[in-house]
Amino acid sequence: MSFPDGFVWGVSTSAFQIEGATSVDGRGPSIWDAFLADHAGACDHYHRYRDDVALMRDLGVSAYRFSVSWPRVLPDGEKVNPAGLDFYDRLVDELLGAGVAPYATLYHWDLPQALEDLGGWPSRDTAHRFADYAAAVHERLGDRVDTWFTLNEPWVAAFLGYGAGRHAPGRTSPADAFRSAHHLLLAHGLGARALRAAGAAKVGTVLNISPVMTPAQVGDPARPLAEEDAEAVARIDVLANRQFLEPLLRGAYPEELLPVVERACGDLGHVREGDLEVINQPLDLLGVNYYTPLVVQAQPSEPADPAWPGSEGVLFCTVPTAVTAMGWPIVPDCLTRLLRRLSGEYPDLDLMVTENGADFVDVVTGDGIHDVDRVHFLEEHLRAVRSAIDDGARVRGYLVWTLLDNLEWADGYRRKFGLYHVDFATQRRRPKDSALWYRDVIRRGGLPPTRPKRPTLETVAARAGVSRATVSRVVNGEAAVSAQVRAAVLRAVNEVGYVPNAAARSLVTRRTNAVALVLSVPRPGGDALTAAVVQYVTSVLEGAGKHITLMLADTAESHRRIVAHVEAGQVDGVVLLPPERADTLAERLARTGVPVVLLGKPAIASLVPYVDVDNAGGAATATEHLLAAGRRRIGMLCGPMDLVTVQDRLEGHRAALARAGLRPHLAFADLTIGSGAAATRRLLGDDPSLDAVLAATDQLAVGALRAAREAGLRVPEDLAVVGFGDGEAAPATTPALTTVRVPVADQALALARLLLSRLEGRSTTPVVLPTRLVVRESA
């Protein structure tokens, strides 16, 4: 898996995240100093840059993308501070001395506070200030730096900084966000022009381009989309990607964007004549930062996300894939798709992956820092880059985010993206396994033929300073080993995270590292949930080093077998998807003393912690929606009353009616469409002027739609119908079903997390997730 000749291997950082020294040599405050309390030291790179450049030399990188701190260079936004430039002067010389090409980014989010006080990015003047700043930096470094990036991720600066307020300066105005985006682009144009005029060799900019897709497309990119989902995907693509790509590379905003901006800002006055020509400078290189895709679907009642003004009716979704410690889904394939798309749309443009990396929990031991997950992440993403190159994408290099564990913006120091571990108490840097791996990749100009392995018996032996045979004896519980040696081996086993097979492990540690996932007979309508649970629980628990044993609890005999298995200490924990009806399996399992977690509130009061959704709240909201629409004669189709979910949904419905001074009309059904139709007919027979039906499940609601059609009633004019669940069928019924969404993936994820915290001896409280009304045509 080698890469083209001249392919650039490198690392990226940013000034505010590593430099520290925020008040030395005349540096002025930046918006981030004001936004974050207690951040000051970062990696003290300002004083340790020589050591850090030495780390890069050890890695063998050919390029280093750093950012220049604007408030160091122009502390008050106006006057150049030569001492601030001196630092970059020294840094650049040090890099060149080490054979590393300096790539300078001019704006990586640290606006001088003085300029924020004058209006910040919503003010046009900031763009002009940026051009002056770019010229000042080029004047000092231009003789030695030939690759320049104007901006880093303008979407983040504008929309997280001025729209959602999650980043500095923490403003929350959709109008300011759009104006900032435009002025950032303008700053790029003016800055690029100034750099070029001063003789810069290569001018580029860096965008966070995120592939946008529905949850189903994550695994199946070719999956055709329902019209409303296609619209949601296209709209977010405009906001995230095309808003920046098209002005930069085509000199025009996407047509679909302007009405959205106009609505947010009141007018388009901030986009002046001639701006787009300025923005559309020739680009030598487009930097692409990729971490994770944007996953969305249509959701009619959803309000706009503050980070995405214009996203009304779009739901940002979680997806059932492995995630980083930050919770970002890991989808390397999206990087291939993204690079291919860019090269397809802009065939003459050179691309570079300017950031890619991941936050994971590292295993820190005396002999090293083991980050198998990061190595896998980087390796898979490099494969993805290579596939794109094979398909003709013009990718010139790959820069890992990031050299050092650092200050991850609003998340502070708890995020670990570095190839090098930093002990922030001592500022000691230590290479992680990923640094050693990357060094090897760079040396061979590509990926090694075999994938890195999880720690082996040899690793443990080396760590404990004993022979492999001794490790094996300890792992197999043989007595002929001294207590001291045994302790040393077990310590090494723990430290390197060695996972012998389950049987061997149980002999040594009395822990099996196995978890049973017990599924009861599939419940009606619960297939999607069961599938999500299997997927998530497996992914999260395997990520935590557990083996999953799947067990089916469908007969009394199987219950006995499962209890015996757990009693025999074959597993450390159990995730149970109980049958919906009252049942004793949970209690029997709980009595074994092994941690058990349940999906759904158990029928019998129990101490077993569970994950459930707010069924009563969902039914109340649905009922209130009908009441607000003027419906007064509302019937409820209840499913079997021995199901706890049905009881809860009925209770929520009753409570909402009672608040409006009304009484329920109930009809009972089993869980089939046919019985839903029959129960609806009974309700209509009792009260021909019935004007709404709330069904306890989507299936029953489909039955109600059928009965209404047969009775010649129009939905929703004569009879409004609301379901519960929002399964796959709901948007496809005629008319499309208004229903209460039960979060499927979130429940599954919560269940996995609940078991993990139980295994760590924490948390036994139930988790109840919110439901949400999805309004479509039927009500």
Residues making up the annotated binding site for substrate are 17, 108, 152, 291, 401, 408-409
Cβ at position 9, least distance to ligand FCB in Å: 19
Q: Is 318 an interacting residue with respect to ligand FCB (CB under 6 A)?
A: no
Please give the structure tokens belonging to residue 348.
Answer: 């003459």
Q: Which is nearer to ligand FCB, 156 or 307 (CB)?
A: 156
Taken in order 328, 330, 336, 340, is the CA torsion positive or negative?
negative
| Maximum separation of any 2 CA atoms in the chain, in Å | 89
256 is catalytic: no
| Residue from 275, 355, 433, 572 in contact with ligand FCB (CB under 6 A) | 355
Say if strands 610-613 and 767-769 run parallel, antiparallel, or are unpaired: parallel
Smallest distance from ligand FCB to CB 12, Å:
8
Structure tokens that stand for 356 in this block:
């890619």
153 is a contact residue toward ligand FCB (CB under 6 A): yes
Residue 152 or 539: which CB sits closer to ligand FCB?
152
Active site residue 153: yes
Stretch of 401-409, 425-433, 571-579, 716-724 contacting ligand FCB, by CB under 6 A = 401-409
Q: Which one of the spans 58-66, 148-156, 309-317, 633-641 is the region binding ligand FCB (CB under 6 A)?
A: 148-156
Q: Does 408 bind ligand FCB (CB under 6 A)?
A: yes
**Residue showing tokens 């890099």:** 95
Q: Which is nearer to ligand FCB, 130 or 610 (CB)?
A: 130
Q: Is 413 in the site for ligand FCB (CB under 6 A)?
A: no
Q: Which stretch binds ligand FCB (CB under 6 A): 54-62, 149-157, 300-308, 637-645?
A: 149-157
Q: Does 25 bind ligand FCB (CB under 6 A)?
A: no
Strand, coil or helix: what is 769?
Answer: strand
State the minimum distance, in angstroms, from the CB of residue 332 to ligand FCB. Answer: 16
CB-neighbour burial class of residue 543 (10 A; exposed 0-12, middle 13-18, buried 19+): middle
Q: Pattern 247-286, binding to ligand FCB, x per CB under 6 A?
A: ----------------------------------------
x/- binding map, residues 202-241, to ligand FCB, per CB under 6 A?
------x---------------------------------
Q: Which one of residues 130, 148, 253, 401 is an interface residue with ligand FCB (CB under 6 A)?
A: 401
Please identify, using beta-carbon distances, which residue of 325 and 769 lies nearer to ligand FCB. 325
Quick one: which of 68, 102, 98 has its CA closest to 86?
A: 68
Q: Could you say whether residue 777 binds ligand FCB (CB under 6 A)?
A: no
Which is closer to ligand FCB, CB of 289 or CB of 336?
A: 289
Distance separating alpha carbons of residues 89 and 46, to the nearest angstrom: 12
The whole-angstrom separation of Cα 131 and Cα 187 is: 6
Give least dist CB 17 to ligand FCB, A: 6
For ligand FCB, give the closer residue by CB, 401 or 438: 401
What count of other Cβ atoms lies within 10 Å of the Cβ of residue 688?
A: 10
For residue 324, state whether it binds ligand FCB (rule: CB under 6 A). Answer: no
Under rule CB under 6 A, how many of the chain's residues touch ligand FCB? 12
Q: Which is nearer to ligand FCB, 65 or 270 (CB)?
A: 65
Closest CA to 520 of 638, 600, 616: 600
- CA 766, CA 474: separation in Å to the nearest integer? 39
DSSP 633-677: -EEEEE--TTSHHHHHHHHHHHHHHHHTT---EEEE--SSHHHHH
- Residue 655 half-sphere exposure, CB side, CA atoms within 13 Å? 14
Q: Which is nearer to ligand FCB, 208 or 538 (CB)?
A: 208
Stretch that binds ligand FCB, among 152-160, 341-349, 555-563, 682-690 (CB under 6 A): 152-160
Q: Does 539 bind ligand FCB (CB under 6 A)?
A: no
Q: Cα separation of 737 and 776, whole Å?
A: 6
Of 151 and 650, which CB lies nearer to ligand FCB in the complex structure?
151
User: Closest separation between CB of residue 108 and ligand FCB, Å?
Assistant: 6
Least distance between ligand FCB and beta carbon 354 (Å)? 9
Q: How many CA atoms lie within 13 A of 514 on its CB side?
A: 20
- The residue (of 407 and 596) whose beta carbon lies closer to ligand FCB is 407
Contacts of 314 (CB under 8 A, 6+ apart): 232, 235, 236, 296, 297, 298, 299, 302, 305, 308
CA distances to 579, 622, 711 from 616, rounded to whole Å, are: 20, 10, 30
Q: b vs e for 318-339, b when ≥16 Cβ sit within 10 Å of the residue's Cβ?
A: bbbbbbbbbeebbbbbbbbbbb
Q: Return d(Cα 463, Cα 423) in angstroms, integer.
A: 22
Pick from 638, 623, 633, 735: nearest CA to 691: 633
| Shortest separation between residue 72's beta carbon and ligand FCB, angstroms | 17
Give me the least distance between CB of 412 and ligand FCB, in Å please.
12
Q: By CB under 6 A, tell whether 14 contacts ligand FCB.
A: yes
For position 152 contacting ligand FCB by CB under 6 A, the verdict is: yes
Annotated binding site: which residue ranges?
A: 17, 108, 152, 291, 401, 408-409
Q: Which of 70, 398, 409, 536 binds ligand FCB (CB under 6 A)?
A: 409
Q: Tokens representing 103?
A: 């790539």
DSSP conformation class of 414: G
Interatomic CA distance for residues 548 and 544, integer angstroms: 11
Tokens, residue 505: 């492990």
Interaction pattern, residues 284-303, with ligand FCB; x per rule: CB under 6 A: -----x--------------
CB of 399 to ligand FCB, least distance (A): 11
The DSSP string of 305-351 is: PTTSTT-TTEEE---SS-B-TT--B--THHHHHHHHHHHHH-TT--E
| Interface pick for ligand FCB out of 49, 133, 162, 417 (rule CB under 6 A) | 417
Catalytic residue, candidates 94, 246, 355, 379 = 355
Residues 6+ apart with CB under 8 A from 420: 55, 403, 404, 405, 429, 430, 431, 432, 435
- What separation, in Å, do the N-terminal and C-terminal C-alpha atoms of the chain show? 56
> Please, what is the Cα angle at 180 between 177 and 181, to 5 degrees?
90
Closest separation between CB of residue 503 and ligand FCB, Å? Answer: 41
List Cβ neighbours of 424 (8 Å cut-off, separation of 6 or more).
Answer: 41, 43, 413
Instruction: Say which of 19, 94, 116, 153 is annotated catalytic.
Output: 153
Shortest Å, Cβ 248 to ligand FCB: 17
Taking the complex as a whole, how short is the minimal distance between the CB of residue 88 and ligand FCB, in angstroms? 18
Query: How many whole angstroms separate alpha carbon 734 and alpha carbon 555?
Result: 39
Measured from the CB atom, the residue of 398 and 417 that comes closer to ligand FCB is 417
Q: Is the dihedral of CA 718, 723, 726, 728 positive or negative?
A: negative
Using the rule CB under 6 A, give the single segment among 150-158, 679-687, 695-703, 724-732 that binds ligand FCB.
150-158
Confirm or reject binding of residue 651 to ligand FCB (CB under 6 A): no
Q: Which is nearer to ligand FCB, 14 or 113 (CB)?
A: 14
Nearest to residue 207, comparing CAs of 103, 291, 289, 308? Answer: 289
Active-site residue list:
153, 355
Q: Which residues of this chain interact with ligand FCB, rule CB under 6 A?
A: 14, 17, 152-153, 156, 208, 289, 355, 401, 408-409, 417
